[in-house]
Amino acid sequence: MPPSAKTLARRMVPHPLYRRYRQRKVASLIAGYPPREVTHTYGGHTLRVRLTDPLAEGWYDHDWGKLEAVAFLRERSVLRPGARIFDLGAHQGIVALMLAREVGETGRVVAIEAEPHNARLAAANRELNDAANLTVLHAAGAARAGTISFAEGLNGQIDEHTSTGNVEVAAVTIDDLAREHGTPDLVLVDVEGYEGAVLEGARETLAGGSTSFLVEMHEELNSYGGRADEIVELFSGFERFVAVEDDDPFLPLQGSPPAGRFFLIALAGPPRSAV
């Protein structure tokens, strides 16, 4: 199959210039979009959402049915009133708001989002829904604390190769978040291929054996030097379940992990039976 126009552009245009072009395109998409608020039901939770870009419209301007991952974690009592959750790669906070409803007033959700535009929207959506138990941080999950280069986009990503044309954002580790906010019961990781580095920053949390994980594994993982089997092996002492599509049921991992994009749930502690 011949390369797409976007691929050709990336090959022919110097990297910093391409990043600047992408930044201007993103700014244009946001500036040309008439902002509005909508109300929808997401996995059984009615939320108000502020829309300010076309990608968010496509993702959030409609009702969502049951989310298999949320249902699975609820059935196994990982999602429960009073639970503490970290959501890394929270986008505009919709899933984090759903989780905040799941854990109730006695629970806590900490949402981490690196894209400046999306972090602002996540904070705005938090206020729209009076989610006092949700904290939104503009930062990127990483292996070490400090700063990191981020390529902006409506759904941007970490860029380890250059800082020219990118933005520098604070880098946080799961272990540091646990020291500041308390050991989480559940960590969600959806970071567009940067899963390996984020989990490298969770060594103490993983060793603690009391935190469950939901990791969306992306095809871009290889471009950051990671491998799916290595990440799965980090959870060798956990109950491991996988699903390939968003609406697939989670089944016990048998043998090697699936190729390409898939979802991994790793349950900490003794085996948990469904309620």
Q: Helices in 33-140 by DSSP H: which ranges? A: 54-60, 68-75, 94-103, 116-128
Cα(82)–Cα(102) distance, rounded to whole angstroms? 9
Cα(141)–Cα(138) distance, rounded to whole angstroms? 10
pLDDT tens figures, 57-108: 999 999 999 999 999 999 999 999 999 999 999 999 999 999 999 999 999 9
Give the pLDDT score at 11.
37
Q: How far is CA 140 from CA 99, 184, 188, in A?
A: 20, 17, 13
Taking the alpha carbons at both ends of the chain, their separation in whole angstroms is: 48
pLDDT tens for the chain, residues 1 to 275: 344 444 333 333 344 544 554 556 566 777 788 999 999 999 999 999 999 999 999 999 999 999 999 999 999 999 999 999 999 999 999 999 999 999 999 999 999 999 999 999 999 999 999 999 999 999 999 999 999 988 777 777 777 776 666 788 999 999 999 999 999 999 999 998 889 999 999 999 999 999 999 999 998 888 888 899 999 999 999 999 999 998 999 999 999 999 889 999 999 976 554 43
Handedness of CA 169, 172, 177, 180 (dihedral sign): negative
Q: State pTM to two decimals.
A: 0.88
Cα(117)–Cα(1) distance, rounded to whole angstroms? 34
* CA-based nearest residue to 220, from 229, 228, 212, 209: 228
The CATH homologous superfamily to which domain 66-267 belongs is Vaccinia Virus protein VP39 (3.40.50.150)
Domain chopping of the chain, boundaries: 66-267
Q: Tell me if 187 sits within 8 A of 174, measured CB to CB.
A: yes
Amino acid at 98: M
Q: How far is CA 133 from CA 20, 104, 173, 219, in A?
A: 37, 8, 21, 33
Cα(148)–Cα(163) distance, rounded to whole angstroms? 9
Token readout for 32 is 């040309």
